[in-house]
Chains A and B, each alone.
Chain A
Amino acid sequence: MRYLTDRKRAEGHGAAHSGTGHHWYMQVSAFGLALIVPTFIVIFGRALGSGYENVIETFSHPIPAIVTGLVLLVGMQHFRRGAQVMIEDYTRKSTRKVLIMCVIVLSYGLTATGLYALGKIALGH
C-alpha cells in the first residue's frame, strides 16, 4: 500500500511525461523556421551548382551564413522532436529508446558538422 493520493501520482505524468514542453517547442520552432526558411531556400538554391568561388563568396557574407546556421540548428531540433513522435507511435520499449537516442545523436552531429563548415567558410580558411 502506497500512501499517495491519485492526484499526487498523476501530477507531472501526462501522456508525454513532460507536460506541454514538447508541443510548445514545436510551435515556437515552426514559427521561427517559417520566418527564415524562404530566405534560406533562395540562398541555397542560387548557390547550389554555381561554382566553388561563388559558394565561398556567398557564405562569407553574414546574412547567408547566419540564416543557414539558424535553419540547420533550429531545423534539426525541430526534426529531432518530430522524429521522436513518429518513433513513439510505431515502436515500444528498448527499440523506442535506442531509436530516439540515434535521432538525437544524428541531429546534434549534423548540426555540429554544418556549423563547423559554415564557421570555417564565413570566418576565412
Chain B
Amino acid sequence: MASPTPRERPLSPHLQIYRPQMTSISSILIRITGNALIVGAFLLVWWLLAAATSEEYFNFVDGVITSWFGDIVMTLSLLGIWYHYLGGLRHLIFDAGRALEVETAEKLGWACIIGSVVLTVLTLLVI
C-alpha cells in the first residue's frame, strides 16, 4: 500500500554521474533551444507592438533587432528554432515507437544538429 505521506523525490539533473552521450546531449539541446526561444518570441511581440504603435517607435525597435547584437540573437534563435523543429519531429517518430535502437537514435541526433545548421544557412540565403 502506498505511503500516505509522500517522500521527497530526487530532482534532476544527475549530470555529475552521467556520461555525456549523443542521445542525452541531443535531448538536452531540445530543452535549451525550446526555452531560449522565449527571447525570440519576446522580440517578435515587441516588434509587432511597435509596428502597431507608430513609425518612430517601429524604427527604434526594428533598429535594435537588426543591430549587430540583434542579428546575433536572431541568428541564434533561427538555429534554435530549426534544431527544436527537427528534434520535435524526432520525438514524434520516437513516440510512434520507431527509431529507438541506440545506433539509429544517435544517427538521428547528428541529423538534427547538422540539419539545423544547414537549414539556418539556407534560411539566411532565402530571406
In this complex, the member of A37, A49, A121, A125 whose beta carbon has the largest number of chain B beta carbons within 10 angstroms is A49
For residue B95, CB closer than 8 A to chain A, the reply is yes
| Contact between chains at B35 and A110 (CB < 8 Å) | no
Known contacts A30-B91, A30-B92, A42-B126: does B45 contact A72 (CB below 8 Å)?
Answer: yes
Q: Helix, strand, loop or mixed for chain A's interface?
A: helix
Nearest-Cβ distance from residue A61 to partner chain B, whole angstroms: 14
Chain A residues near B89 (CB, 8 Å)?
Answer: 30, 34
Q: Helix, strand, loop or mixed for chain B's interface?
A: helix
| Contact between chains at A48 and B2 (CB < 8 Å) | no
For residue B121, CB closer than 8 A to chain A, the reply is no
For residue B41, CB closer than 8 A to chain A, the reply is yes
| Contact between chains at B66 and A75 (CB < 8 Å) | no
Chain B residues near A106 (CB, 8 Å)?
Answer: 38
Once the chains are docked, how many angstroms separate the CA of A114 from the CA of B88?
A: 24
| Contact between chains at B42 and A48 (CB < 8 Å) | no
Once the chains are docked, how many angstroms separate the CA of A44 from the CA of B47?
A: 11
Interface string of A1-41 (1 = CB under 8 A from B): 00000100110000000000000000100110110010001
Task: Output the nearest chain B residue to A79 by Cβ-Cβ distance.
Answer: B38
Q: Which bracket fits the contact residues of B? A: 35 or more
Nearest-Cβ distance from residue B14 to partner chain A, whole angstroms: 11
Nearest-Cβ distance from residue A9 to partner chain B, whole angstroms: 7
| Contact between chains at B88 and A30 (CB < 8 Å) | yes
Chain A residues near B13 (CB, 8 Å)?
Answer: 89-90
Task: Output the nearest chain A residue to B57 by Cβ-Cβ distance.
Answer: A52
| Contact between chains at B52 and A116 (CB < 8 Å) | yes
Number of A residues contacting the other chain (C-beta, 8 Å)? 42
For residue A56, CB closer than 8 A to chain B, the reply is yes
For residue B25, CB closer than 8 A to chain A, the reply is no
Chain A residues near B35 (CB, 8 Å)?
Answer: 79, 82-83, 86
The 21 listed contacts between A and B (C-beta, < 8 Å) are: A6-B1, A9-B2, A37-B81, A42-B126, A42-B127, A44-B44, A45-B123, A45-B127, A48-B62, A49-B62, A49-B65, A72-B41, A79-B38, A82-B35, A86-B35, A114-B44, A114-B49, A118-B48, A118-B52, A121-B52, A125-B52
Pairs A-B, 4 closest by C-beta atoms: A45-B127, A117-B48, A117-B52, A120-B52
